[in-house]
């Protein structure tokens, strides 16, 4: 199979997976126009239409569904064979794709930059987004999320320091409503709700001297992006529950006041995770080695 033929098959799978030419083109690192032309040439050579296209949607045709079902395992085998050969390279090279939350992306960015300096033939595609993705299905090598969100079937490595949560409100809000001194004092209807990447509503968890309390915020505002939630709390919309680093500058500057600090001890931080793989590339192994080096981990990689 020529490189061009394999690229076209990868393109078909990317469009089928993402349901969009634009999203697939971004994943493949090519323009939407080039991708469209490539698929059109493949359809012409096959003599069938693989995708039904409208101005608003893209879906597989019957022939396209059958085609994807047949080529998916074959392309996976080809990928595996290529990874096996590439793993024999002594010098790490190629592309490493990482999916992370925004906060986790900030945590790993210095390590990524150090990795690129050490291995000039490597490239890294770091994608930050709120939703929790299936890193295998969406073509990522690694994921980075809070430890409690890592899928159980993944191999996980702790990354970075433990995280703390911070409960905050604006000075103006506190002047109008008073200062809660315990979790039981929180006015739940004034607590901003947070939606997790998996769609569930986040429960505020508190712990002091072995006493654990969980609170369900019941405010009128529900947000899934920390930056928007921070802006709302600064505007006096209510009480917010954040990862400490997201509001540390505001607390230091007096724009926000920290509440219940003795109820928010450190918790496990982020975890870098990945599926077990038989033939990890030299670049993949080198990146994991740097993670362990930076975290002081003496973990053996048996994959």
- Report angle CA 227, 229, 230 to the nearest 5 degrees: 65
What pLDDT shows up at residue 299?
37
What pLDDT shows up at residue 302?
36
What pLDDT shows up at residue 87?
57
The answer to whether 239 and 189 are in contact (CB under 8 A) is no
* pLDDT tens sequence for the chain (303 residues): 555 677 888 899 999 988 889 888 888 888 889 899 899 999 999 999 999 988 778 899 999 999 999 998 888 888 777 766 665 556 788 899 999 988 889 889 999 999 999 999 999 999 998 778 889 888 899 999 888 788 888 999 988 778 889 999 999 999 999 999 999 999 999 999 988 777 788 899 999 988 999 999 999 999 988 889 999 999 999 999 998 988 999 999 999 999 999 999 887 788 999 988 667 888 999 999 999 887 544 333 433
Fold assignment, 165-263: D-Maltodextrin-Binding Protein; domain 2 (3.40.190)
Looking at domain 94-161+269-295, what is its CATH homologous superfamily? Periplasmic binding protein-like II (3.40.190.10)
What pLDDT shows up at residue 177?
95
**Cα(182)–Cα(185) distance, integer angstroms:** 5
What pLDDT shows up at residue 78?
83
What pLDDT shows up at residue 119?
94
What pLDDT shows up at residue 278?
64
What pLDDT shows up at residue 67?
92
Q: Do domains 3-86 and 94-161+269-295 have the same CATH topology?
A: no
**CATH architecture assigned to 3-86:** Orthogonal Bundle (1.10)
Whole-structure pTM value? 0.56
Beta strands in the chain (DSSP E): 51-53, 58-60, 94-100, 122-128, 142-146, 155-159, 165-169, 193-194, 204-208, 211-215, 222-223, 240-243, 257-259, 270-274
Query: Pick from 127, 145, 130: which is nearest to 226 by CA?
Result: 130
What pLDDT shows up at residue 76?
82
**Which residue intervals of 139-178 are DSSP H helices?**
171-177
What pLDDT shows up at residue 213?
92
Domain boundaries, the chain: 3-86, 94-161+269-295, 165-263
């Amino acid at each position: 199979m020529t490189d061009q033929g394999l690229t076209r098959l990868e393109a078909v799978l990317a469009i089928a997976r993402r349901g969009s030419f634009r999203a697939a083109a971004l994943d493949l690192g090519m323009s939407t126009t080039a991708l469209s032309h490539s698929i059109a040439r493949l359809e012409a050579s096959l003599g069938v239409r693989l995708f039904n296209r409208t101005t608003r949607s893209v879906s597989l045709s019957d022939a396209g569904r059958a085609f994807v079902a047949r080529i998916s395992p074959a392309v996976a085998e080809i990928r595996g064979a290529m990874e096996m050969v590439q793993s024999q390279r002594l010098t790490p090279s190629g592309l490493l794709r990482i999916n992370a939350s925004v906060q986790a992306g900030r945590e790993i960015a210095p390590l990524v930059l150090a990795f690129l300096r050490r291995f000039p033939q490597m490239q890294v595609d770091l994608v930050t987004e709120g939703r929790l993705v299936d890193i295998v299905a969406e073509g990522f090598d690694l994921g980075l999320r809070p430890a409690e969100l890592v899928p159980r079937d993944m191999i996980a490595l702790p990354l970075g320091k433990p995280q703390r949560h911070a409960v905050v409100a604006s000075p103006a809000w506190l002047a109008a409503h008073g200062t809660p001194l315990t979790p039981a004092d929180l006015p739940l209807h004034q607590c901003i709700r947070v939606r997790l990447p998996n769609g569930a509503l986040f429960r505020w968890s508190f712990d002091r001297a072995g006493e654990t309390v969980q609170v369900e915020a019941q405010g009128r505002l529900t947000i899934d992006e920390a930056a928007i939630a921070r802006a709302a709390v600064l505007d006096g919309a209510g009480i917010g529950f954040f990862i400490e680093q997201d509001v540390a500058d505001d607390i230091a500057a007096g724009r926000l006041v920290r509440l219940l600090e003795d109820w928010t001890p450190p918790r496990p931080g982020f975890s870098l995770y990945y599926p077990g793989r038989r033939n990890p590339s030299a670049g993949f192994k080198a990146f994991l080695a740097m993670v362990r080096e930076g975290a002081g981990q003496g973990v053996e990689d048996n994959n």
